[in-house]
């Protein structure tokens, strides 16, 4: 095993499948301590995962990121158990096949891909400040590159649905926009963050509706990379000295200008209001 991550801890959401699983395996093999915030379990036949669990190098916190009560419980357990975090990978997400809503009444892509990562950043700032790297990677996409319009007011309750290029793409864009906006505010704490495109990866799972347009699935099977490639892009963005300014959207290792940057402040205000009005206030009420 490598020792690059010795003495360092990373939190990975969506760590039990796809890119998240490959990222978890990469970091464990390099000596990182890994805290996994997941809804479903790890593959039982994976020797590295099972050995790391038995050594407590890999620690599991179970939560549904779209359910604030579930998320509060898991983060309470995590903050009580972990001494520090060097890296936070907001990686959980995916494309759903139809219009769905969270327990809080918001569109599901928006809740898991835009709102939950902001909550995690805000709730884990103290642990990140105690780490050495203090870096956050928000998994983004290039699927929003073809968007012709973007309205932050439709993110919570869209009236129309399109696979991949609808709510999935717009909520990933919203994630990258608030990443850009929030960066100056956490810089004083030494925290840096980027939204990173992992590129086209074959993340199809047997027996699960991918939520992809019909013509994408065969292309994904034939031409898209193994999820380990996407994991490497996230990992490199987190640990390499790539020089891109905090808050940047990074694709293929290079910062790229976002569309609709003028809407970034409105997106940030929206997710901040949800966090303060519902997540924080809900914790006080409980």
Q: 257 CB contacts (<8 Å, ≥6 apart)?
A: 249
Instruction: Report the percentage of the chain scoring pLDDT > 70.
Output: 94
C-alpha 73: how far from chain center: 19
The residue ranges of every structural domain in the chain are 9-285
Please give the order of strands across the beta sheet that includes 254-255: 58-62, 33-38, 9-13, 87-90, 135-139, 192-197, 249-251, 254-255
Which of 158-162, 167-171, 217-221 has the least mean pLDDT?
A: 217-221
Which phi and psi (to 5°) does residue 72 adopt? -60, -45
pTM of this structure: 0.94
C-alpha 128: how far from chain center: 16
**Is residue 210 pLDDT above 90, yes or no?**
no
Confidence of residue 163 (pLDDT cuts 50, 70, 90): very high
What pLDDT is stored for residue 220 in this prediction? 67
Q: Express each pLDDT in 75-130 by its tens digit.
A: 999 999 999 999 999 999 999 999 999 999 999 999 999 999 999 999 999 999 99
202, 220 contact by CB (below 8 A) = yes
Architecture of domain 9-285: 3-Layer(aba) Sandwich (3.40)
Strands 192-197 and 249-251: parallel
89 vs 137: CA distance, rounded Å: 5
CA torsion through residues 10, 16, 20, 25, sign: positive
**Is residue 3 pLDDT above 60, yes or no?**
no
Confidence of residue 1 (pLDDT cuts 50, 70, 90): very low
């Amino acid at each position: 095993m490598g020792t690059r991550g010795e003495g360092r801890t990373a939190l990975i959401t969506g760590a039990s499948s796809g890119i998240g699983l490959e990222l978890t395996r990469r970091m464990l093999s390099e000596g990182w301590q890994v805290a996994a915030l997941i809804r479903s379990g790890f593959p039982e036949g994976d020797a590295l995962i099972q050995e790391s669990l038995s050594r407590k190098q890999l620690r599991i916190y179970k939560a549904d990121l779209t359910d604030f009560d579930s998320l509060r419980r898991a983060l309470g357990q995590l903050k009580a158990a972990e001494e520090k975090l060097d890296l936070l990978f907001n990686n959980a997400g995916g494309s759903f096949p139809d219009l769905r809503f969270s327990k809080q009444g918001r569109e599901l892509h928006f809740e898991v891909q835009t709102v939950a990562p902001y909550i995690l950043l805000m709730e884990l700032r103290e642990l990140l400040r105690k780490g050495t790297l203090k870096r956050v990677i928000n998994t983004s996409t290039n699927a929003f590159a073809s968007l012709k319009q973007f309205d932050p007011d439709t993110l919570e309750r869209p009236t129309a649905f399109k696979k991949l290029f609808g709510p999935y793409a717009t909520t990933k864009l919203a994630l990258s926009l608030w990443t850009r906006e929030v960066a100056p505010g956490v810089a004083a704490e030494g925290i840096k963050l980027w939204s990173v495109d992992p590129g086209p990866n074959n993340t199809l799972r047997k027996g699960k509706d991918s939520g992809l347009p019909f013509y994408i699935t065969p292309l994904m099977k034939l031409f898209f990379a193994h999820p380990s490639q996407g994991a490497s892009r996230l990992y490199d963005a987190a640990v390499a000295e790539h020089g891109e300014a905090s808050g940047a959207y990074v694709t293929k290792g290079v910062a790229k200008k976002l569309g609709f940057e003028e809407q970034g402040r409105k997106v940030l205000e929206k997710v901040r209001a949800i966090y303060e009005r519902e997540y924080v206030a809900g914790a006080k009420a409980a």
